[in-house]
C-alpha cells in the first residue's frame, strides 16, 4: 500500500513529528510511505516531496495579508505536486495541516475527487471547518456552525489577514471543496474536536478519535520504574528548595495562558518558583526585568533532553490554555511522572484523571492557585499514576490505530 502524507512541515513541530513517526511505522509494517510538505527540509531517510518554495511562500502570505485567502494561493507549486501524485499513484492520502501557505486546497480536493483517492484527514486544529481561523474558542465565536462572516478575529488569530476579512467567501469555497469526497475519514485527537466536527459541514464523514501519542523512551521519570509504588509518591521534592511550577509552550500568547503565570507569581509564596519554557527573546527580557526573582524565563529549547529534565524537576506542570485541541505537553509531563493542572479548555482535560492531575474552571485564577496549593494533600495523585496514565498514549500503540484505519 502506498501512503502519501501531506503536512506543512516534516519532522519538525508537533505535526511534523507525528507525520514522520507515522511514516516510519507504516514503512516498518511493510507499506510504502511518502511525506509531501510545504516548508523547511525533510530527513534524508524519508521519501519526500517539497511542495512549496520561499518565493511562493511569500506570495501566498501576501495574498492572505491583503485578500484574506489562506489556502487559496500556491497554484503553480500545487500543480507541480499533483503531477508528482500522478507518478506515485497513492492508495491513501493522509492529510494533516493544509494551512501554512504552501498548497491550493481547491485544486487538491478537485484532484482527490477526480481520482477517487481514499483520504484520512487528521484535524490538528479547527481551520478545515472555518472561514478563517485555526481556533475560535478564545473568541467565543460559533459562526462556523452556520456560515462564517464578519470574523471578529481575522487580524489577531492565525492565519492572520491584516487588511481584509474574507471569511464568508473562504467558508463557502472550503465547504464546497471539502465536502463530497467519496471516501474520507476524519481523525481528531480529542473527543472535544470530534463533537465540533459533528456540528460543522464536515459532519457527513465518519470521525475516529485517535489521541496524540508520545515517545515514552524519551519522556520518562527520573525515578527507577522498577521500584515499588510506595517509592513513587514523589510530588514533594526537597522541602528546602522551592517547588517548580512549570509552563511550556511553542509560542507563548494570551491564548496559551501567559498572563496567568505572571499573576500566579504574585499570588504564590516563596515555597514555589515558576519556570517558563518557550518564550521569545522579547518576552524573556521583559519577564526577567519585572519578575526575575519569581520566574525563570527560558526561550524555546531544541534539546529534548533539556525539556525532559525540566518536566522531571517540576512539582507540577500547569497548562492554563484558553483554546486547545489535545495538548501533547500534558502527556509529556505525565510521562515524566509530573502531575498536570489545566483549565477545562477544549480537549486539554481529556488526558487528566483524578490520579494524575486537577482540572479547574477555564480562566478561574482562584481555582488555579488553590489547585497548586492543594496538590500535596491529594494523596491519590502520585508520580506512578502519572506515568501509568501516560503509558495509555504510547505512540506505537496510537499510531497502529492509523494502520488499521488505512487498511479499512
pLDDT digits (tens, 9 = 90+) for 371-390: 999 999 999 999 999 999 99
What is the per-residue pLDDT for 224?
A: 56
Mean pLDDT of 285-294: 93
Secondary structure (3-state) at 57: helix
Mean pLDDT of 79-102: 97
234, pLDDT greater than 60: no
What is the per-residue pLDDT for 190?
A: 96
What is the per-residue pLDDT for 229?
A: 42
- Please name the residue that has the C-alpha cell 465536502: 179
Mean pLDDT of 229-248: 65
What percentage of the chain exceeds 90 in pLDDT? 86
Q: Grid coordinates standing for 378?
A: 491529594
Expressed in angstroms, the distance from the first to the final Cα of the chain is 12
pLDDT band, very low/low/confident/very high, at 223 (cuts 50, 70, 90): low
Mean pLDDT of 241-268: 94
Lowest mean pLDDT among 73-82, 95-104, 293-302, 306-315: 293-302
**If 0-12 CB within 10 Å is exposed, 13-18 middle and 19+ buried, where does residue 238 land?**
exposed
Mean pLDDT of 337-358: 97
The string of pLDDT tens digits covering residues 135-176 is: 999 889 999 999 999 999 888 888 888 889 999 999 999 999
Residue 307 CA from chain centroid, whole number:
17
pLDDT band, very low/low/confident/very high, at 297 (cuts 50, 70, 90): very high
What is the per-residue pLDDT for 227?
A: 45
What is the per-residue pLDDT for 292?
A: 87
Q: Grid coordinates standing for 349?
A: 482535560
Lowest mean pLDDT among 70-79, 156-165, 222-231: 222-231
Alpha carbons 154 and 114: distance in angstroms, whole number? 33
User: Between 360 and 301, where is the model more confident?
Assistant: 360
List, edge to edge, every strand of the sheet that includes 48-50: 48-50, 32-37, 2-7, 92-95, 119-122, 184-188, 207-209
User: Between 250 and 34, where is the model more confident?
Assistant: 34
pTM of the predicted protein model: 0.91
Alpha carbons 140 and 1: distance in angstroms, whole number? 42
What is the per-residue pLDDT for 236?
A: 45
What is the per-residue pLDDT for 13?
A: 84
Amino acid at each position: 500500500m502506498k501512503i502519501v502524507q501531506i503536512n506543512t512541515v516534516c519532522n519538525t513541530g508537533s505535526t511534523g513529528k507525528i507525520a514522520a513517526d507515522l511514516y516510519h511505522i507504516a514503512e516498518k509494517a511493510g507499506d510504502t510511505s511518502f511525506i509531501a510538505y510545504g516548508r523547511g527540509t525533510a530527513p534524508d531517510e524519508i521519501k519526500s516531496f517539497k511542495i512549496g518554495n520561499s518565493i511562493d511562500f511569500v506570495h501566498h502570505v501576501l495574498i492572505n495579508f491583503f485578500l484574506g485567502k489562506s489556502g487559496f494561493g500556491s497554484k503553480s507549486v500545487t500543480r507541480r505536486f499533483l503531477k508528482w501524485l500522478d507518478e506515485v499513484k497513492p492508495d491513501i492520502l493522509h492529510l494533516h495541516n493544509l494551512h501554512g501557505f504552501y498548497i491550493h486546497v481547491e485544486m487538491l480536493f478537485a484532484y482527490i475527487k477526480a481520482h477517487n483517492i481514499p483520504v484520512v484527514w487528521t484535524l490538528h486544529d479547527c481551520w478545515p471547518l472555518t472561514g478563517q481561523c485555526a481556533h475560535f474558542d478564545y473568541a467565543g465565536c460559533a459562526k462556523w456552525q452556520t456560515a462564517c462572516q464578519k470574523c471578529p478575529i481575522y487580524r489577531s488569530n492565525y492565519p492572520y489577514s491584516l487588511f481584509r476579512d474574507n471569511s464568508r467567501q473562504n467558508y463557502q469555497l472550503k465547504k464546497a471543496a471539502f465536502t463530497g469526497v467519496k471516501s474520507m475519514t476524519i481523525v481528531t485527537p480529542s473527543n472535544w474536536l470530534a463533537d465540533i466536527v459533528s456540528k460543522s459541514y464536515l459532519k457527513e464523514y465518519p470521525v475516529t478519535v485517535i489521541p496524540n501519542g508520545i515517545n515514552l523512551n524519551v519522556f520518562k521519570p527520573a525515578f527507577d520504574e522498577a521500584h515499588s509504588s510506595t517509592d513513587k509518591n514523589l510530588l514533594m521534592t526537597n522541602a528546602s528548595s522551592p517547588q517548580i511550577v512549570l509552563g511550556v509552550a511553542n509560542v507563548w500568547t494570551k491564548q496559551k495562558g501567559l498572563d496567568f503565570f505572571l499573576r500566579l507569581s504574585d499570588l504564590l509564596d516563596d515555597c514555589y518558583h515558576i519556570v517558563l519554557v518557550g518564550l521569545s527573546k522579547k518576552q524573556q527580557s521583559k519577564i526577567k526585568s519585572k519578575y526575575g526573582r519569581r520566574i525563570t524565563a527560558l526561550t524555546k529549547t531544541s534539546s529534548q533532553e533539556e525539556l525532559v529534565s525540566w518536566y522531571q524537576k517540576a512539582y507540577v506542570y500547569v497548562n492554563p490554555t484558553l483554546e486547545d485541541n489535545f495538548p501533547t505537553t500534558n502527556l509529556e509531563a505525565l510521562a515524566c511522572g509530573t502531575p498536570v493542572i489545566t483549565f477545562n479548555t477544549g480537549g486539554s482535560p481529556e488526558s487528566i484523571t483524578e490520579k494524575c492531575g486537577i482540572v479547574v474552571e477555564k480562566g478561574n485564577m482562584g481555582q488555579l492557585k488553590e489547585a497548586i496549593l492543594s496538590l500535596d494533600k491529594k494523596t491519590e495523585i502520585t508520580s506512578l499514576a502519572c506515568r501509568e496514565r501516560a503509558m495509555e498514549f504510547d505512540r506505537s500503540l496510537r499510531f497502529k490505530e492509523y494502520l488499521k484505519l488505512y487498511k479499512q
